[in-house]
């Protein structure tokens, strides 16, 4: 089990596409946003903080959804078949993907947060850790979605679906710009919006973000159930 | 009906391989009246056979004969629609969890973005009785490729890595699905010499192939599949005798003399076709003993011109055996 996780983490960290989309790209976007908005404020939050959180979650969601492409490819290549012929239990594969996603989302969070601190975002250590933990833990909701997507279809279908849902969710989740009016009415129920809100809890005036936690837990339950069902379906058709 | 024959070859051989599992010490694997349907297609149709410890068994048949489906069921990757499959007296999954089976898949099944050594290390570590990585790499003759990325290998090199995955631990049964596909002759020979060492170590080996020569050279026992049915089960020599037809053709010129009617009395003939008249005749013969047939042709005083002797292709051999099987069933 540990062996499989080790192999997974190694592979993802070696993947340049992963590095670009989940670490370099969000960091670049953050640099761009924080330099263009300087010290402006929105709803009592500085843009530097706002985008620090939303770019960290953007990278995390990207890393988590990347799981979809990998599962889909490995189903096609026969690696999942080969694993079923080892002494590892059947769920070990999915677990290794989720754990690996949990590990490889950390660089995305750390890099963007470090840039935020460099740009002058100030928090007590406990707040940094709390926000970091919120971003990291929330990433598992999207890892579950990634597993479900990976078992849903073949690689050439999964890739565009993943990209569209990734960008769409980021847009409706207020990752690119703060939502107002009609967009907010719709967007506030989407998973990335809840995720961004939760990760901003220290500056949002929300005490723990109970409603966001409940919302994300509901999404997690739905994605996990979907993933479990698609996974079972796949095992019957190999 | 030949599909339920249980030829006990090699059961008493290499007894050390027997681990005496679940009270079935002489049974490695068993198919009991197994069928598999995909929609209206019967991929496997009521096949029964037993594999015994220490045997090297070839699963022979053309593409689409049901070999891969049978192997998938043997390994528990697919469930049979009817019948029962057991491995070491239990379910395939139990045998795999216990590390008793090493498998080399036909294609794919390799992980990109890791080195050969990392992949093989993984296989060794997850096997309940895994071997030392360097030992496995050496046996598979890929020690020199150890630091290469898996996605940067040639077809033949990939096959050797798959072989390493199948032999990463102390398994009792090794299953190989068309292991030499895409290998050239030299690579194929090298592969089988390595495989032979596995058999000599007392392991039971089952491999699927559509090369008759491969089955002949390697296997103690050959299971022939055709259209989902197990149509023959015996030693390579027995199968060859059934499939070992030769086709002979030559021309007879009237000026050379000899009596063409003598052809009917030739030994070994299974089919005879004489065409043409006057200016010359073309003779086509199918025989089970080409040497005897030709010796008799010369002894009869005939002067064959443009003589050609050709082995019957495997395709033709299957048609022959299938026709026999169909005949047996009708009776």
SS3 letters for B167-228?
CCECCCEEEEECCCCCCCHHHHHHHHHHHHHHHHCCCEEEEEECCHHHHHHHCCEEEEEECC
Question: What pLDDT score does B147 carry?
Answer: 95
> What is the side-by-side strand order in the sheet with B56-60?
B101-104, B173-177, B204-209, B56-60, B221-226, B229-234
Distances (CA, A) of B98 to A1, A188, B15, B170, B171: 15, 51, 20, 10, 9
What whole-number percentage of chain A has pLDDT above 70? 97
Output the average pLDDT for chain A. 88
Could you tell me if B137 and B149 are in contact, meaning their C-beta atoms sit under 8 angstroms apart?
no
Which of A76, A82, A238 faces B165 most closely, judged by CB atoms?
A82
For residue range B243-264, what is the model confidence (pLDDT) as tens digits?
Answer: 667 788 998 887 777 777 778 8
A3 and B103 in contact by Cβ < 8 A? no
Q: How far apart are CA A187 and CA A193, in angstroms?
A: 7
A77 and B78 in contact by Cβ < 8 A? no
Q: Is the pLDDT of residue B61 over 90?
A: no
The answer to whether residue B194 neighbours chain A at the CB level (below 8 Å) is no
Q: How far apart are CA A145 and CA A230, in angstroms?
A: 11
Q: How far apart are CA B146 and CA B120, in angstroms?
A: 9
For residue B101, give the chain A residue with the closest CA.
Answer: A85
B118 and A10 in contact by Cβ < 8 A? yes
A contact residues 147-206, partner B, Cβ 8 Å cutoff: none
Q: How far is CA A169 from the centre of its chain?
A: 11
Contact pairs from chain A to chain B, CB under 8 Å: 70
The answer to whether residue A4 neighbours chain B at the CB level (below 8 Å) is yes
For residue A237, give the chain B residue with the closest CA.
Answer: B78
Residue-level length of chain B: 331
The answer to whether residue B20 neighbours chain A at the CB level (below 8 Å) is no
Q: How far apart are CA B51 and CA B86, in angstroms?
A: 10
Q: How far apart are CA A40 and CA A51, in angstroms?
A: 12
A79 and B108 in contact by Cβ < 8 A? yes
Question: What pLDDT score does A166 carry?
Answer: 93
**Looking at beta carbons, which residues of chain A come within 8 Å of B147?**
none
B contact residues 122-161, partner A, Cβ 8 Å cutoff: 122-123, 125-128
Q: Residue A67: which of A102, A118, A24 has the closest Cα?
A: A102
- Closest chain A C-alpha to B126 CA, distance in angstroms: 6
- Closest chain B C-alpha to A146 CA, distance in angstroms: 19
CB burial string B32-44: b at 16+ within 10 A, e below: bebbbeeeeebbb
For residue range B96-151, what is the model confidence (pLDDT) as tens digits?
Answer: 999 999 999 887 889 988 999 999 999 999 999 999 999 999 988 899 999 999 98
Q: Is the pLDDT of residue A114 over 90?
A: yes
Could you tell me if B123 and B165 are in contact, meaning their C-beta atoms sit under 8 angstroms apart?
yes
CB atoms closer than 10 angstroms to residue B284: 14
Q: Is the pLDDT of residue B55 over 90?
A: yes
Q: How far apart are CA B237 and CA B248, in angstroms?
A: 22
- Closest chain B C-alpha to A108 CA, distance in angstroms: 21
Question: What pLDDT score does B318 carry?
Answer: 60
Question: What pLDDT score does A122 carry?
Answer: 87
**Looking at beta carbons, which residues of chain A come within 8 Å of B75?**
85
Angle between helices A155-172 and A47-77 (to 10 degrees): 170
**Looking at beta carbons, which residues of chain A come within 8 Å of B76?**
84
Question: What pLDDT score does B288 carry?
Answer: 80
Q: Which of A81, A82, A96 to mutate to test the interface with B (most CBs of B within 10 A)?
A: A82
Question: What pLDDT score does B103 carry?
Answer: 94
Could you tell me if A119 and A27 are in contact, meaning their C-beta atoms sit under 8 angstroms apart?
no
Here the tokens at position A84 are 């079923």
For residue A82, give the chain B residue with the closest CA.
Answer: B109
Q: Residue A59: which of A125, A115, A4 has the closest Cα?
A: A115
Q: Would you say the ipTM is above 0.90? A: no
Residue with tokens 């259209």: B227
Is this structure's pTM higher than 0.90?
A: no
CB atoms closer than 10 angstroms to residue B163: 24
The answer to whether residue A7 neighbours chain B at the CB level (below 8 Å) is yes
For residue range A70-111, what is the model confidence (pLDDT) as tens digits?
Answer: 999 999 988 988 998 999 988 888 888 888 888 888 888 999
**Looking at beta carbons, which residues of chain A come within 8 Å of B111?**
7, 11, 74, 79
Which residues, 6 or more positions from B131, have their beta carbon under 8 angstroms from its beta carbon? B124, B167, B168, B169, B170
B111 and A79 in contact by Cβ < 8 A? yes
Could you tell me if A65 and A147 are in contact, meaning their C-beta atoms sit under 8 angstroms apart?
no
- Closest chain A C-alpha to B98 CA, distance in angstroms: 7
């Amino acid at each position: 089990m540990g062996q499989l996780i080790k192999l997974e983490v190694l592979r993802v960290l070696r993947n340049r596409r992963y590095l670009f989309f989940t670490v370099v790209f969000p960091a670049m976007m953050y640099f761009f946003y924080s330099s263009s908005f300087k010290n402006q404020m929105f709803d009592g939050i500085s843009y530097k903080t706002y985008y620090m959180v939303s770019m960290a979650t953007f990278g995390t969601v990207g890393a988590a959804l990347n799981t979809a492409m990998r599962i889909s490819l490995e189903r096609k290549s026969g690696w999942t078949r080969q694993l079923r012929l080892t002494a590892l239990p059947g769920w070990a594969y999915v677990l290794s993907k989720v754990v690996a996603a949990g590990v490889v989302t950390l660089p995305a969070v750390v890099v963007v947060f470090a840039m935020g601190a460099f740009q002058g975002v100030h928090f007590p250590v406990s707040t940094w850790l709390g926000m970091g933990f919120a971003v990291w833990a929330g990433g598992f909701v999207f890892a579950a979605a990634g597993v479900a997507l990976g078992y849903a279809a073949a690689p050439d279908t999964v890739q565009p679906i993943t990209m569209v849902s990734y960008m769409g969710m980021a847009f409706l989740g207020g990752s690119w710009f703060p939502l107002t009016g009609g967009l907010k009415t719709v967007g506030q129920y989407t998973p990335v919006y809840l995720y961004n809100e939760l990760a901003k809890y220290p500056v949002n005036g929300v005490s723990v973000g109970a409603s966001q936690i409940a919302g994300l837990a509901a999404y997690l339950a739905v994605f996990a159930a979907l993933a479990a069902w698609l996974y079972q379906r796949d095992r019957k058709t190999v | 009906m030949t599909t339920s024959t249980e030829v006990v070859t090699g059961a008493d051989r290499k007894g050390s391989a027997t681990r005496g599992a679940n009270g079935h010490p002489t049974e490695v694997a068993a198919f009991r009246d197994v069928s598999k349907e995909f929609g209206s297609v019967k991929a496997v149709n009521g096949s029964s056979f037993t594999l015994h410890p220490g045997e090297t068994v070839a699963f022979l048949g053309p593409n689409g004969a049901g070999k891969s489906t049978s192997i998938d069921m043997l390994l528990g990757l697919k469930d049979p629609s009817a019948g029962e499959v057991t491995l070491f007296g239990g379910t395939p999954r139990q045998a795999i969890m216990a590390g008793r089976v090493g498998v080399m898949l036909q294609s794919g099944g390799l992980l990109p973005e890791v080195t050969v050594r990392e992949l093989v290390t993984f296989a060794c570590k997850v096997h309940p009785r895994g071997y030392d990585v360097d030992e496995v790499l050496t046996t598979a003759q890929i020690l020199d490729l150890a630091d290469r990325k898996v996605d940067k290998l040639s077809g033949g090199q990939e096959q050797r890595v798959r072989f390493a995955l199948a032999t990463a631990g102390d398994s009792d049964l090794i299953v190989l699905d068309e292991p030499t596909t895409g290998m050239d002759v030299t690579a194929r020979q090298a592969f089988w010499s390595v495989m032979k060492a596995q058999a000599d170590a007392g392991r039971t080996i089952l491999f699927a192939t559509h090369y008759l020569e491969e089955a002949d050279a390697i296997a103690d026992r050959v299971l022939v599949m055709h259209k989902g049915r197990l149509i023959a089960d015996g030693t390579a020599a027995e199968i060859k005798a059934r499939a070992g037809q030769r086709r002979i053709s030559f021309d007879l010129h009237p000026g050379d003399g000899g009596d063409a009617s003598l052809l009917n009395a030739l030994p070994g003939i299974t089919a005879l076709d004489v065409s043409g008249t006057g200016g010359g005749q073309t003779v086509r013969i199918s025989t089970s003993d080409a040497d005897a047939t030709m010796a008799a042709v010369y002894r009869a005083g005939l002067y064959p011109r443009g003589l050609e002797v050709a082995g019957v292709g495997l395709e033709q051999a299957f048609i022959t055996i299938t026709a026999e099987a169909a005949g047996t069933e009708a009776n």
